[in-house]
Structure 1
Amino acid sequence: MHAPRGSGLFRNRDFSLLLSGQLVSAVGDQAHFTALPLVVLALTGSVTRAGVVLGLGTASFLVFGLVAGALADRWDRKATMIWCELGRAVLTAGVAVALWFDGLTMPQLYGTAVLAGILTTLFHVANTAALPNVVGPRLLSAALGLSQSAAGAVAVVGASLAGVLYELGRTVPFTVNALSFAASAASLGLMRSRFQVDRKRARPGARLTADIREGLGSLWRQPVVRFLTLVSAADKVRYGAGYLLIITLARQLGASPLWIGVVFSGAAVGAMAGALVSDRVTRRFPLGRIAVAMLWVEALVFPLYALAPTPLLLAAVAAAESMVAPVYTVAMTTHQLAITPDELRGRVTSAASTLTTGALSVGALAGGALIAALGAEPLVWLCGAWLLALAVLTTANRAVRQAPPAGALS
């Protein structure tokens, strides 16, 4: 009888350290991002400004994402990730201190969002590019699935915990997040794995633009990855608007910060359930079929947000909608990393992330304005129609339908 594929991961000391640091950081992030729009609303009463702050946190990918990929392929990935975590700890602690002394301003929040977004961009690109070297190609899909399911398990309680932390005091969520970044940096420092294969150093006169073009060219030459990256970017526009949209719907139903946390806990339950089966599904079903299924489920479920009469039912809709996304993410990431040489992984990852996370920021930036202009319920139906169009386009794409199981490539 064969041991489960994921069992080897638990014997990998460095993956355990990497995962534990990410989980601690996930708790802090959950607390931070649940509290952030509530703090902005308390300071300004403006849903549009809340959307701007959320959008600026990811808008950095539009400006810095491609550069981050080139740097992650040039620099030592481990050292880069540690410095990114320490930088984010300092920035987040600054928000907590300003809140404590009643000196927090919108310019500080805007600046923190931009700088933290740059560091987050560089961290995640380096982390994704390094993962195949930490766990090996055979366990890549299992590692991605376990990372998502563990993060989902934390988020199940983390979203509700975020509401509790905010009730304890406005500074508490940001203090917790700052400490979580420091803990993540410490866990990275204890790791022994090489985060990249040996390669020649970049020539002193070599241009970043040449490196960036090489990464973009590699992504463009893969028709399935190219199409699904564009579709994912279009989906992220809706997702970016959806976060603030769900908070607005919950507030219209009279939900307290604690109940808003419960709604996002529902999403975490669904995401965890999907992540638990992601490795098995990734290795069994074609990537295209997984992508089509995700989009159709989202298109059919998302409009139910407009019909939910209580925060509890909002949580149920969030759980149903979130179930398929982790499976697709694991399948797509496994496929992309498996077909990309190590020396290009940072750049190809950043090229895809620039599109998807940039689109996420566009959605978040536009979300507040659209809610103010159209109202929450009409925007839900508009997002549902957008998802339906994406599902039809993806179903009609022959190259996507013929893509092999992503796990078969690893």
Structure 2
Amino acid sequence: MTPRLTLINRDYTRLWFGQAVSSVGDAVFSTTLVLWVATVLAKDETWAPMAVSGVLMASSAAVLVIGPLAGVFVDRWDKRATMLLSEAVRGALVALLTVVSFLPTDALPAGVWLALVYATVLLLHAAGQFFSPARFAILADLVTGDADRARAAGIAQATGETAWIIGPPLAAPLLFTAGLQWALLFNAVSYGVSYIAIRAIGTGPPATGGDARGAARKPKGGLRREFTDGLRFFARSRFLVALLLLAVIGQFGIGALSTLNVFFTTDNLHAEAHLYGYVGMAMGIGGITGALCAGRVVQWFGARRSTWISLLVSGVLLVAYSRQSGFLAGVALLFVFTVPLTVLNTAMAPLLLAAAPPDYRGRVMAVFYPVTKLASMLSAVLSGWLAGSVLHGFTGSVGGLSFGPIDTIFAVSGLIVVLSGVYAWLSLPGTPTADEAAADTAGKDTVGTAAAPAHRPPHHERGSIE
């Protein structure tokens, strides 16, 4: 028997391979920059933490500022050409920084080095804001059906998790043995591999009924009008608004983990700080497990039902995690918690494209992703502020259970996620198909105010994918 060398279909496999290599390159690149800034450029300096945070701020600024506008252009342009241009730009940016990095560190002032790093990160993520919605849209042509789209989203999730398990361990040896420039060059080459893989997509008959290359659309108006049309379309879609609310609530409920979990590990789980890496490993393995199971889960329960079930289970498990006091039990529970959380992310992907007609897919993602990114940032800031000020030194007990500041925040976060699951169960409207959403758009005045679409039963054979 000939071994199966394709994932879903040939064109999707090409896209997946390019993105897998590029994801490892991104993980190496991001880890290398943080390590280099912290341990070389700003070594023993009091401003080192601020310098490292600037890398994260540069990436977030690109998402929040460029992301919403990028969707307009993605909807106008050929999707495959947009992806190719984005990879070429990103590869060139990293290659340019690689050339500069061959200079000795003391050849330029620290401020100039930081400016180069921040500018490169900002421009890389700005180009990524065009790539991601274009990839989201082109997958609708490459893969059809809720089950296959959820499976493809699960593969993407698992690949991303794997990249962040493989990439960081590669980054440190490359930096400290070979040097910064070789770690950067690795990422530049990875963009080249992705470019070649994307070029190979659509060279034969399309894998589905659509053109996998993503035909360019003639602009219907100016940038401002198309941007506001996209916002209006999103705002009057009850389904999209409900999904966005769920994502935002989920980010506020779960975002505290990213900020406070290291303190929970040392204070509540009574573990040494050097064991914290195993916490991240458990979440990574849980993410891979959930991503690989997600396609089957969506096939069994449907994307809509999988969404609210995953929210309920994740919320309950987060509350249970907040009550742990042993390291092994905490790590095991965190692994289990990450599985339905990843299924949730994967299940929402088919729902998004089901509600987005082709002409609006770029703008739908350009609204959805920056808003959820902002919610994640606000959650991290809010949880850190609560733990460090309002709840600092807090102790209490209810029914014989004692509470401290961090476990209280985690417990409340879990309850918020549970409530969002109940909301999804009761209020998430039926999934409109892209054709129905387009018909709604065509039948309403885009200048005036439109009523929300009527409730529709779910369509389990259609959907979306990340």
Residue matched to 1:110? 118
Contact 1:149 1:273 in 2 (8 A): yes
Query: Which amino acid in structure 1 is aligned with residue 18 of structure 2?
Result: G
Please report how far the alpha carbon of residue 25 of structure 1 lies from its aligned counterpart in structure 2 after TM superposition: 1.2
Please report how far the alpha carbon of residue 186 of structure 1 lies from its aligned counterpart in structure 2 after TM superposition: 2.0
1:141 aligns with 2:141: no
1:225 aligns with 2:240: yes
1:24 aligns with 2:21: yes
Q: Distance in 1 between matches of 2:262 and 2:114?
A: 20
Query: Which digits, 9 at most, give the CA deviation of each residue in 1:303-338, with x for residues without a partner?
Result: 74796776x777645533321233222221111212
Compared with structure 1, are the counterparts of its residues 114 and 355 closer, same or farther at alpha carbon in structure 2 (3 Å cutoff)? same
Q: Counterparts in 2 of 1:239-388, with a 5 A limit?
A: 242-243=257-258, 245-246=260-261, 263-302=279-318, 304=321, 316=332, 318-363=334-379, 378=405, 381-388=408-415
1:391 aligns with 2:418: yes
Please report how far the alpha carbon of residue 21 of structure 1 lies from its aligned counterpart in structure 2 after TM superposition: 0.6
TM-score by length of 2: 0.71
Contact 1:66 1:351 in 2 (8 A): yes
Please report how far the alpha carbon of residue 241 of structure 1 lies from its aligned counterpart in structure 2 after TM superposition: 5.9
Residue matched to 1:101? 104
Contact 1:299 1:387 in 2 (8 A): yes
Please report how far the alpha carbon of residue 88 of structure 1 lies from its aligned counterpart in structure 2 after TM superposition: 2.3
Q: Distance in 2 between matches of 1:348 and 1:294?
A: 23
Query: Which digits, 9 at most, give the CA deviation of each residue in 1:21-77, with x for residues without a partner?
Result: 110111122223344444444325654554443243133232122211111111122
Count of residue correspondences: 399
Q: Helix, strand or coil for the counterpart of 2:361? A: helix
Compared with structure 1, are the counterparts of its residues 127 and 210 closer, same or farther at alpha carbon in structure 2 (3 Å cutoff)? same
Contact 1:159 1:264 in 2 (8 A): no
Query: Which amino acid in structure 2 is aligned with residue 278 of structure 1?
Result: A
Q: Which has the larger radius of gyration?
A: 2
1:201 aligns with 2:209: no
Identity score, percent: 25
Query: Which digits, 9 at most, give the CA deviation of each residue in 1:65-118, with x for residues without a partner?
Result: 221111111112212212222322343445555487325633333323322221
Please report how far the alpha carbon of residue 380 of structure 1 lies from its aligned counterpart in structure 2 after TM superposition: 6.2
Compared with structure 1, are the counterparts of its residues 120 and 366 closer, same or farther at alpha carbon in structure 2 (3 Å cutoff)? farther
Residue matched to 1:65? 67
1:75 aligns with 2:77: yes
Q: Distance in 2 between matches of 1:396 and 1:113?
A: 38
Contact 1:57 1:361 in 2 (8 A): no
Q: Distance in 1 between matches of 2:94 and 2:176?
A: 19
Q: Distance in 2 between matches of 1:122 and 1:66?
A: 10
Contact 2:253 2:417 in 1 (8 A): no
Compared with structure 1, are the counterparts of its residues 109 and 296 closer, same or farther at alpha carbon in structure 2 (3 Å cutoff)? farther
Structure 2 unmatched ranges of 5 or more: 394-403, 432-456
Q: Distance in 1 between matches of 2:160 and 2:461?
A: 25
Residue matched to 1:178? 188
Please report how far the alpha carbon of residue 279 of structure 1 lies from its aligned counterpart in structure 2 after TM superposition: 1.3
TM-score by length of 1: 0.80
Please report how far the alpha carbon of residue 295 of structure 1 lies from its aligned counterpart in structure 2 after TM superposition: 3.3
Q: Helix, strand or coil for the counterpart of 2:136? A: helix
Please report how far the alpha carbon of residue 120 of structure 1 lies from its aligned counterpart in structure 2 after TM superposition: 1.4
Structure 1 unmatched ranges of 5 or more: 1-6
Residue matched to 2:445? none
Higher helix share: 1
